[in-house]
Amino acid sequence: MKTGVCTTDFEKLPLREADCLFSGIRSIGFECVQFAFSSVTEADFIPTGQLELPGMISPETVSAVARASEKYDLPVGVINATFNMAHPDPAVRDEGLLRLGVHLDAAKALGCPILSLCTGSRNPDHLWRPSPGNDTPQAWDAMFDTVRRAVELAEKAGVTLAVESEASNVIDTPEKARRLMDEIGSERLKMILDAANLFHRGEAKPENARRTLDEAFAAYGGDIVAAHGKDIRAGDGIDFCGTGLGIVDFAYMAKLLRETEYRGDMFLHGIYDEDDMPRALDAWKQASGVFTK
């Protein structure tokens, strides 16, 4: 298991200069990346809250990512392809699928096996904000149809799509995630484990940390293809924080991953402060025992 980081935790930087995004990530000690094209200036794209993936990626940009990845020995394990798959406007969902096709081509060119998705929210402004409509049949049907069409594209491309259970999304419990995978019925739809995203409001308490992980692994442990190292502070709300600063039991998480013979990597996430990256990386190393003898 390599330890990487999500590039969205860093300031947007170029790929070609000496102090480029990849060189900075490697200097901290990370071994791989979950990459978002919105993280590099060459893509010339700013996420909108509805669509977080650019509509066009030039061959030159893909080549620059490939060169940086090779130069700094940072494999691209996952590429972000998030858009609001449950948006109330079908045009937004259709545009997201068109852009997903662009990212599938980029993933193939980079040898990246996984694209990350967001099952979305009925909130029209942002894919990670809750909506009272998320728990309705209309929300499920819109999301399901979008995921189904996305999986059809992924099957043709030979790339795996991965979603998360997130409190603000239509898929907000491990049980719903299991239902989605079972009803889609494709080996090209898998899961990202982000333990911090498993907590709903009022649940982020230390005594719930292991039970919450147990429930997720019971539902889809064998279908996890990527793991995130985001953390959450104890409290009645949802207050995300850097790895090791909250209540997520990363040692227990690592144990469960090993028991399910997990073959993917860990991508730290939710830090957003380059000065705090070494501490977060050390917290994961100490908790997981990945680098200890």
The per-residue pLDDT for range 155-184, each reduced to its tens digit, is 999 999 999 999 999 999 999 999 999 999
Task: Give me the percent of the chain exceeding a pLDDT of 90.
Answer: 96
204 in Cβ contact with 233 (< 8 Å) = yes
Q: Which two tokens stand for residue 267?
A: 């991508």
Measured distance CA(94)–CA(96) in Å, rounded: 5
Give the domains, in start order, of the chain with CATH numbers.
Answer: 3-288 (3.20.20.150)
Whether residue 210 is predicted with pLDDT greater than 50 in this model: the reply is: yes
Residue 83 is classified by DSSP as B
The alpha carbon dihedral of 21, 262, 219, 210 has a sign of: negative
CA atoms within 13 A on the CB side of 206: 3
Beta-bridge mates of residue 3: 266
For tokens 């935790």, the residue is: 9
Beta-bridge mates of residue 116: 80, 162
Tens digits of residue pLDDT in 66-94: 999 999 999 999 999 999 999 999 999 99
Residue 253: closest CA among 205, 201, 197, 195 = 195
Note the pLDDT of residue 17: 74
Whether residue 115 is predicted with pLDDT greater than 50 in this model: the reply is: yes
Note the pLDDT of residue 293: 35
Residue 69: phi and psi, rounded to 5, are -60, -45
Note the pLDDT of residue 289: 86
Whether residue 290 is predicted with pLDDT greater than 70 in this model: the reply is: no
Angle at 40 between CA 37 and CA 41, to 5 degrees: 125
Measured distance CA(293)–CA(286) in Å, rounded: 11
267 in Cβ contact with 6 (< 8 Å) = yes
* Residues contacting 215, CB < 8 A, separation 6+: 174, 198
Tens digits of residue pLDDT in 6-31: 999 999 999 887 669 999 999 999 99
Note the pLDDT of residue 152: 98
Measured distance CA(50)–CA(126) in Å, rounded: 5
Q: In whole angstroms, how far apart are CA 176 and each of 119, 182, 183?
A: 11, 10, 10
Whether residue 230 is predicted with pLDDT greater than 80 in this model: the reply is: yes
For tokens 């060189």, the residue is: 23
Beta-bridge mates of residue 235: 204
pLDDT band (50, 70, 90) for residue 286: very high
Note the pLDDT of residue 16: 82
Residue 206: closest CA among 230, 241, 227, 232 = 232
Note the pLDDT of residue 99: 98
For tokens 């858009």, the residue is: 83
* Residues contacting 180, CB < 8 A, separation 6+: 119, 144, 147, 163, 171, 189
Mean residue pLDDT across the chain: 96
Note the pLDDT of residue 291: 40
